[in-house]
Every structure is written in C-alpha cells, then in structure tokens.
Structure 1
C-alpha cells in the first residue's frame, strides 16, 4: 500500500541550483535564490523531496561518479544550512544515445524513488526547467511544473506542464496553496 506522504520530484540543474554547462566543480554550485527556504517549507509541510537528475557528463567523460558525489555532498550542505532534508538523489549517468530506462523523460529514476519511499506518483509533483521533466511527470501521472529558471524560458510558451511558473519558490507556493 502506498505511503500517504506526498513527494515532490525536482530536477537539479536550472531548478534547484544555477545552471552551469555540465557542472563539474562543487565550488561552482550555487542555489537559485529562494530555493532553500521554499524547499524547507515543503519539508515542514510533510512533503518528501527527491532530486531527479540526468547527468550525461559522466557518460561523456566530463566528470566521474566520485566527482558527482562531491557535488551532491556540497548540495546537501547548502540545503541543510537552509533546513532542507532531501529524501534521495537519483541520477542517470547515461548519455542520450545509451539504451537505459532512467534518462528523463523515461521513468526509471522516479520508479526507483517510488520503490524506496513507497509513495503514490499520482499524489506527487514533478518540477523542472525542461520539457523532459514535464514529460516524466506526465508519464507517472504526477502534477507538473515548468520553472522559467535554467532552460525553462525556452520551453515556457509550448510546455505541456500543468503550471509554468517563475521559479521553484513560485511552484512551492502553489503546491502549498499560498497562491492560485
């Protein structure tokens, strides 16, 4: 039986942290303004938080899994300083031409998170800055948000997202019922 706890599945680059072309140095990681407090509000409201991120830079040889772990350690530190608890970080290390079931928009990472945390995807939300994030959300039956940060602006006019918003804090306001 699925957990009654609702989850928000969030893209990393361009949604949580400032978009950097193939972020490979933990020192270059910076949160988008307002993201930390917004995620902390979600946590206080009882939502689970899972980060779902394609990381083809590994397949392309730009950085290693060890380096990615260092980046995620830094991300964890920055978020913890804001009072954020992340329930899991799920990565696809494959390239666009690899035959995997985890690269967004395919549901592999979301399915892994659902298996580990036992939540109902239809009570969940997916937030990201690319249409592949929206497509992932639609594939699992979740509510979807496209943020205009990162790459989001170029998808905003044609997005099939349930909501197109300025940024992650604006999405959280809607999720928590603070703004219609």
Structure 2
C-alpha cells in the first residue's frame, strides 16, 4: 500500500475570500496561492501521490454546473503544470452544504474512494486543510492532519499547523522519510 497527501482545494491550493475572488465558480476566478506549485512539485519529486479532496457546494446550490467545476480543475492542473507540478487525482462533493451526504467533508467518503482506487494506506497518509471539516475527515480515516492557518484558529487538534502549504513540506517529507526508515 502507498502513502499519499490529500489536499483541500479552496484556501490550501487556491485563493478564496480574497481581494481578487470571493468563491471560485469559473476558471478565470482560480488563482494559485503563493508557493503552492513549488510545494506540490516537491511532493511529486519525492514520488508522493498527491490528491485533491474538495467540497464544492456551489454546484448543488446552482452557482456553477459540474461541467464548469471540471473546467476549474483543468485550469488548476494547467497552472500547476506551468511550474512542473501536478495532482494525481481529484475527488469532489457537488452536493449542497447540509445535504447529509457521506462525501462532503467532514465525511470521509472522498478519501476512502481515492484510497481504494489508488491502493493508499490512509493511516500512513496526511490530510491537509484550512477548515475543521477537512481535519475531521482526515482523522476519521486515521490520517495525520495538517491545519493551514494560524495556531489560534486550529480548534481541531491537528497533528501540525503551518501558515501555508509550502511551509508544511519539510514536515510532510520528514513524516514520509521517518516512516520509510522505521519500516526498513
């Protein structure tokens, strides 16, 4: 079984509620956060499978169609590719908030589906998010968790807290290296 890194999208990979964009409903509203492409490229260079798990309630609420969401994800992959980075797969929940579905974080169905599809050991993997539901979803399946934000904002008891994805990369790489050493 492989280990992987699961990334929330909005607030971890791209801007949301910023001066340029409120929510990302169209490709032209998608802006990578500083350092994200470099961070993901470092994960790629370390041969760590990297996945996106994202709640996209805007589809269920009618702010965008699922086809439009796929175009946003195409733009994300294109923007990452310009820096030599990529995510290996993307799972999303298109349902309305409070729809009660199993896929919407803090539900863990998206992580479980990607793990099954790619033979990932969730208990040896890491979930990175900027909101409590992201961390809860990771914990439900036994992932280590990283909260992106301020320590004061992290009420979820995550494994680690960093201000952005790039600053979390040394911790992630150390975690994967420590696991390799202990398994030898």
Deviation at 1:127, TM superposition (A): 0.3
Aligned length: 171
Aligned runs of 1:34-113 on 2, under 5 Å? 34-113=35-114
Deviation at 1:164, TM superposition (A): 1.1
Partner of 1:126: 127
Q: Which runs of 5+ in 2 are unaligned?
A: 176-184
TM-score, L = length of structure 2 = 0.88
Question: Equivalent residue of 2:59, what SS?
Answer: coil
Deviation at 1:97, TM superposition (A): 2.3
The ranges of structure 1 where at least 4 consecutive aligned residues each deviate by more than 2 angstroms after the TM superposition are 152-156
Between Structure 1 and Structure 2, the one with more helix by share is 2
Question: Within 1, Cα distance between the matches of 2:23 and 2:101?
Answer: 20
Question: Equivalent residue of 2:140, what SS?
Answer: helix
Q: Which runs of 5+ in 1 are unaligned?
A: none
Partner of 1:172: 169
Counterpart pick for 1:18 among 15, 25, 31: 15
Question: Within 1, Cα distance between the matches of 2:151 and 2:84?
Answer: 29
Question: Equivalent residue of 1:141, what SS?
Answer: coil
TM-score, L = length of structure 1 = 0.90
Deviations 1:73-110 (A, max 9, x none): 10010011111121110000011221311000111100
